[in-house]
């Protein structure tokens, strides 16, 4: 095993050990460009020396903003090599959000992808006077900017090579000066409340967590992953940066955000992470396309998918399956599963993870039925991702698995999940109070999630601990549990449930424009916008059926059966992170929504059948507008709760 | 592609006393104006003012009964569109004119046709020189795809694309010719605000990065006033005004004829 305790040291080690092995790939002008480990080491060295020549000192922060680009990943190692701390920022942050991070991190330097990000930084420059130098990777559109603090990536590397020639032992000395206990990265968590917090992680945090998981899952230098999730998110940092270095595998960067699905197919990764939403979108698009396929293909698909649902997961887990079914499954692989996986770019997948939200059992089973080893994990930035992981062969859509290697997990008296392990974060940057609230003296980190262990020792997460509430009659309400049940319907994209301190549960619903739009097309329903489709009586009716299905499900549960949805409405706009309704990782900000749509909530809890609403929205270019609508409020049927046959655990 | 600084240069194209009639209809009467190198020149006017006819005259599709066109210092008459194309004039159309069944990539490759020297037999064999040539052209086309951010639809048949994207593909094909003068016939018609903004940015970027001279017809006054260097206003085949956006905006004839009612901002 390697003796390197920091990522720059590990990079040098990789460059000698597997120098010719691909480390990064990027599709540029339609062609995949590859850099091997020794080339990456050179690129990073030039950039690090360039930063030093620009005045970057030990302890300085380097803001990194952009889509996943090899050059930006190199920026991380380059900053670390000379004792700096990379601070990746979500690339779709609006200028104000970015200003907060740049200011809070006290950064003097920024490395950004292109003009779009440069413009944002220029916009906030007055409010963050500390920011001195900006380096951009893609010069397009920036030719006439002319500000002397704007530097091109190439120019900085050129400067760096000169600096390197003049100070030949600078780089080695700087790298050697780093320790495992040094801060390796600061990741700002989007946070469902208040301002983002800067989670401080050390080289040791990231490296040990990355390596533990690598050993558990047998990741090798021959694996391939596609880096398409935001670089500011801890998962991408562990998979596309941490494990890239520890396992030495190649990280592939897509051509652009819009081409991810095609690039996925080009590369055919062996190791893949996606939040449930993406698996859901893939499933929806497969189903939509099958609806449009020729009848014979459709029947073939449904026949073999039924078989796969029945035996696929068992075959994957190595459980006994009848020989006849096995044979049919093999035939199905040739006729349906193989071609389908190939179309999706999943042919070579050995390990797929999902996390972040509950995943619908249908979605989960669909991919496992195809023979894709999809597993759930439970993690957070404060843990350098891994808290629990499902081991091979012990997979269940309801749970998130057993504690990851070296990680301890326990449930507090109030039901909150606590953990302690090698990835536990050091602190929230400049927020000692918040750190103390989250991490106690013994090192236990409070996740804020309510959960329990089942009889097999697998963790099950029900909701945010603070969101679990009670109706006026004392019935338990876990809003997220209800929302997730709603969201498992392909037609429903987002849901927000309310009930704490009320007489009954009520909900907002967002329809899924792709699934519902396709349905509308097949039923000759014309619509011009989300708003129009959402208000269509037939759509309301479909939503009502879904809600009642959820009520029926809930009625089976003696503990949560009282929290059935009595009234709901379909919102006139899609919930959007730009309007602050979702976090950047697309989690619902329930309290913010409750305030913003207070009149709608009042209408849900009064006898009103319709409610007029006007909402300010932010367009992608930052301008604002107002949309108005009259929303119908729908009553749903409530089912009798199953008697408590046996005392629930 | 060469990167040129954006300095407005000498006259690139001059039209003098152009008159064009179809039977009894006088589409253009006695129109004169010029287009300077590297500038963005807008042609505006109400429906039926003769804007598209003017573009058709410039790219050789219509032949005016009277008047002269000087392009790059040479007077020309009665030129066929493909000859105009060879001289460096490319255009897009009001109603998208792409090969619907072909992919985005193939459509843009057709824009390179005039620059290909190997004949069809070489190209069919796809050997040696023809292959090298194809690869060079593909490289240029990929640069344009990158420039216009249409990587995701590279392989999509154009007929399946939404209108806004088709317009972008058409612009890409025109750019593939590496024209000196680019004629855009209502590049933003039928687009929503966001698509319009994208298109504006692309037009400005083309003009700035490649130094391409652009003449465009557009109805959205906000767009015209924002991006053009000079504007010529037509009405019923006559020239009403010619000047910078501010001059045109303040011109009473234009306000009466085109904007209809007196306007404070003129950006209706």
Q: What is the pLDDT of residues A125-149, one digit of tens each?
A: 999 999 999 999 998 888 778 889 9
Domain map of chain B by residue range?
A: 1-88+180-268, 98-178
H or E stretch covering A537: helix A537-555
pLDDT in tens, chain B (268 residues): 444 456 788 889 999 999 998 888 889 999 999 999 999 999 998 888 888 999 999 988 888 888 888 888 888 766 788 888 888 899 898 878 899 999 999 999 998 877 776 667 766 766 777 788 888 899 999 999 999 999 999 999 999 998 889 999 999 999 999 999 999 999 988 888 888 988 998 999 899 888 899 999 988 888 888 899 999 999 888 898 899 998 888 888 888 876 665 445 544 3
Of the candidates A30, A31, A256, the beta carbon closest to that of B149 is on A256
The pLDDT score that the predictor gives to residue A217 is 96
CB contact under 8 A, B209 and A143: yes
Give pLDDT tens digits for A370-409: 999 999 999 999 999 999 999 998 998 878 999 999 999 9
**Number of domains making up chain A:** 2
Q: Please tell me what DSSP assigns to residue A242.
A: I
The pLDDT score that the predictor gives to residue A220 is 96
Percent of chain A beyond pLDDT 90? 68
The pLDDT score that the predictor gives to residue A646 is 43
CA distance A515 to A284: 7
Query: How crowded is the C-beta side of A580, counted as CA atoms within 13 Å?
Result: 17
Give pLDDT tens digits for A147-159: 899 999 999 999 9
The pLDDT score that the predictor gives to residue A351 is 96
Which residue on chain A is closest to B155 by alpha carbon? A262
The pLDDT score that the predictor gives to residue B3 is 44
Structure tokens at A377: 């994990």
- Determine the CATH number of domain B1-88+180-268: 3.40.50.300
Give the CA angle between residues A312, A556, A457 to the nearest 5°.
55
Give pLDDT tens digits for A42-84: 999 999 999 999 999 999 999 999 999 999 999 999 999 999 9
Which residue range(s) make up the domain with A497?
Answer: 469-635
Contact residues on chain A for B205, CB-CB shorter than 8 A:
140-141
Answer yes or no: is A295 within a domain.
Answer: no
Structure tokens at A612: 């007029």
Structure tokens at B163: 């209108």
Which residue on chain A is closest to B146 by alpha carbon? A29
The pLDDT score that the predictor gives to residue A191 is 61
Which residue on chain B is closest to A143 by alpha carbon? B209
CATH code, domain with A490? 3.30.300.30
CATH code, domain with A141? 3.40.50.12780
- Compute the Cα dihedral for A122, A124, A129, A131 and give only its sign: negative
* Cβ within 8 Å of residue B220, ≥6 positions away: B188, B196
The pLDDT score that the predictor gives to residue A436 is 92
> Does the pLDDT at position A453 exceed 70?
yes
Measured between alpha carbons, how far is residue A593 from residues A573, A588, A612 in Å? 12, 8, 16
CA–chain centroid gap for A347, Å, is: 23
The pLDDT score that the predictor gives to residue A560 is 72
| Residues belonging to chain B with any Cβ–Cβ distance to chain A shorter than 8 Å | 3, 6, 138-139, 142-143, 145-147, 149, 151-152, 154-155, 193-194, 197, 205, 208-209
Of the candidates A29, A143, A255, the beta carbon closest to that of B143 is on A29
Of the candidates B139, B151, B193, the beta carbon closest to that of A258 is on B151
The pLDDT score that the predictor gives to residue A193 is 60
Q: Chain-wide mean pLDDT for chain A?
A: 91
The pLDDT score that the predictor gives to residue B176 is 93
Of the candidates B143, B151, B209, the beta carbon closest to that of A259 is on B151
Evaluate whether A20 touches A35 at the Cβ level (below 8 Å). Answer: no
The pLDDT score that the predictor gives to residue A415 is 77
pLDDT band at A503 (very low <50, low <70, confident <90, very high): very high
Q: Please tell me what DSSP assigns to residue B242.
A: E
Structure tokens at A145: 């900017």
The pLDDT score that the predictor gives to residue A192 is 55
CA distance A328 to A308: 9
> Does the pLDDT at position A498 exceed 70?
yes
CB contact under 8 A, A144 and B194: no
Q: How far is A259 from chain B (nearest CA, A)?
A: 5
Edge-to-edge strand order for the sheet containing B181-185?
Answer: B89-92, B181-185, B213-217, B40-44, B230-235, B238-243
The pLDDT score that the predictor gives to residue B47 is 82
List own/partner pairs for B200-205 with CB under 8 A and 24 or more apart. Answer: B200/B226, B200/B227, B202/B147, B202/B148, B202/B168, B202/B171, B203/B40, B203/B227, B204/B40, B205/A140, B205/A141, B205/B147
Structure tokens at A300: 């073939």
What ipTM is given for this predicted complex?
0.72
The pLDDT score that the predictor gives to residue A628 is 87
Phi, psi for residue A512 in degrees, rounded to 5:
-90, 115
Mean pLDDT of A521-541: 92
């Amino acid at each position: 095993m390697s003796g390197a305790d920091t990522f720059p040291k590990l990079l040098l080690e990789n460059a000698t050990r597997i120098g010719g092995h691909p480390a990064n790939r990027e599709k540029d002008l339609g062609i995949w460009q590859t850099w091997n480990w020794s080339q990456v080491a050179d690129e990073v060295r030039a950039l690090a020396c360039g930063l030093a020549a620009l005045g970057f000192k030990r302890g300085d922060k380097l803001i990194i903003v952009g889509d996943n680009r090899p050059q930006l990943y190199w920026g991380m190692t380059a900053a670390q090599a000379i004792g700096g701390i990379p601070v990746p920022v979500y690339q779709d942050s609006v200028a104000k959000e970015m200003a907060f991070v740049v200011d809070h991190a006290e950064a003097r330097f920024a490395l950004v992808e292109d003009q779009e990000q440069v413009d944002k930084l220029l916009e906030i420059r007055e409010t963050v006077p500390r920011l001195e130098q900006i380096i951009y990777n893609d010069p397009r559109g920036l030719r006439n900017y002319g500000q002397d603090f704007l530097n091109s990536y190439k120019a900085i590397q050129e400067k760096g090579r000169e600096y390197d020639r003049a100070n030949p032992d600078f780089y080695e000395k700087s790298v050697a000066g780093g320790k495992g206990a040094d801060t390796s990265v600061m990741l700002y968590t989007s946070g469902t409340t208040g301002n983002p917090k800067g989670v401080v992680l050390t080289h040791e945090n990231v490296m040990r967590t990355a390596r533990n998981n690598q050993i558990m899952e047998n990741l090798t230098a021959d694996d391939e992953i596609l880096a398409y999730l935001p670089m500011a998110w801890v998962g991408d940092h562990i998979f596309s940066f941490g494990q890239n270095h520890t396992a030495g595998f190649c990280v592939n960067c897509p051509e652009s955000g819009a081409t991810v699905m095609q690039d996925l197919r080009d590369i055919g990764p062996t190791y893949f992470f996606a939040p449930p939403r993406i698996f859901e979108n893939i499933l929806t698009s497969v189903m939509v396309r099958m609806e449009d396929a020729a009848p014979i293909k459709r029947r073939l698909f449904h026949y073999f998918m039924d078989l796969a649902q029945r035996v696929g997961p068992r075959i994957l887990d190595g459980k006994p399956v009848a020989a006849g079914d096995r044979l049919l499954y093999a035939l199905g692989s040739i006729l349906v599963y193989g071609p389908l996986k190939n179309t999706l770019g999943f042919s070579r997948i050995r390990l797929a993870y999902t996390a972040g939200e509950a995943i619908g059992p249908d979605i989960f089973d669909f991919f496992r039925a195809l023979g894709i080893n999809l597993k759930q994990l439970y993690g957070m930035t404060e843990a350098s991702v891994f808290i629990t992981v499902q081991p091979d062969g012990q997979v269940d859509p309801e749970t998130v698995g057993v504690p990851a290697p070296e990680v301890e997990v326990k449930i507090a008296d109030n039901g909150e999940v606590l953990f302690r392990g090698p990835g536990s974060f050091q602190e929230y940057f400049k927020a000692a109070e918040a750190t103390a609230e989250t991490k106690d003296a013994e090192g236990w980190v409070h996740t804020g999630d309510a959960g329990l262990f089942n009889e097999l020792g697998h963790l099950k997460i029900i909701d945010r601990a603070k969101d679990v509430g009670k109706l006026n009659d004392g019935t338990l309400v876990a809003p997220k549990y209800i929302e997730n049940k709603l969201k498992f319907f392909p037609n429903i994209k987002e849901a927000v449930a309310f009930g704490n301190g009320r007489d009954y549960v009520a909900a907002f619903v967002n329809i899924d424009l792709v699934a519902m739009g396709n349905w509308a097309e097949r039923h000759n329903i014309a619509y011009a916008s989300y708003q129009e489709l959402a208000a269509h009586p037939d759509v309301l009716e479909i939503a009502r059926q879904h809600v009642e299905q959820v009520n029926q499900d809930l009625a089976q549960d003696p503990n949560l059966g009282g929290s059935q949805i009595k009234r709901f409405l379909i919102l006139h706009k899609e919930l959007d992170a730009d309007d602050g309704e979702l976090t950047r990782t697309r989690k619902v900000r329930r309290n913010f929504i409750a305030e913003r749509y207070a009149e709608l909530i009042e209408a849900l809890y009064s006898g009103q059948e319709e409610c007029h609403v006007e909402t300010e929205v932010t367009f992608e270019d930052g301008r604002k507008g107002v949309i108005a609508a009259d929303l119908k409020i729908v009553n749903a049927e409530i089912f009798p709760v199953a008697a408590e046959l046996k005392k629930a655990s | 592609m060469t990167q040129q600084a954006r300095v407005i240069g000498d006259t690139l194209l001059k039209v003098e006393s152009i008159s064009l009639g179809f039977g009894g209809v006088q589409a253009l009467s006695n129109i004169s104006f010029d287009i300077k190198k590297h500038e963005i020149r807008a042609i505006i006017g109400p429906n039926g003012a003769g804007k598209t006819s003017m573009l058709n005259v410039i790219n050789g599709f219509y032949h005016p009964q009277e008047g002269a066109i000087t392009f790059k210092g040479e007077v020309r008459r009665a030129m066929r569109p493909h000859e105009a194309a060879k001289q460096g004039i490319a255009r897009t159309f009001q109603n998208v004119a792409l090969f619907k069944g072909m992919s985005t990539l193939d459509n843009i490759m057709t824009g390179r046709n005039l620059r290909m020297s190997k004949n069809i037999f070489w190209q069919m064999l796809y050997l040696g020189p023809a292959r090298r040539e194809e690869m060079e052209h593909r490289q240029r086309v990929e640069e344009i795809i990158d420039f216009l951010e249409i990587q995701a639809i590279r392989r999509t048949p154009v007929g399946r694309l939404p209108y806004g994207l088709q317009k972008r593909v058409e612009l890409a094909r025109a750019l593939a010719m590496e024209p000196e003068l680019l004629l855009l016939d209502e590049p933003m018609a039928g687009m929503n605000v966001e698509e319009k903004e994208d298109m504006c940015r692309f037009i400005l970027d083309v003009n700035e990065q490649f130094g391409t001279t652009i003449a465009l017809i557009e109805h959205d006054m906000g767009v015209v006033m924002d991006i053009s260097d000079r504007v010529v206003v037509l009405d019923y085949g006559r020239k009403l005004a010619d000047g910078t956006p501010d001059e045109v905006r303040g011109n009473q004839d234009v306000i009466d004829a085109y904007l209809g009612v007196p306007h404070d901002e003129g950006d209706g």
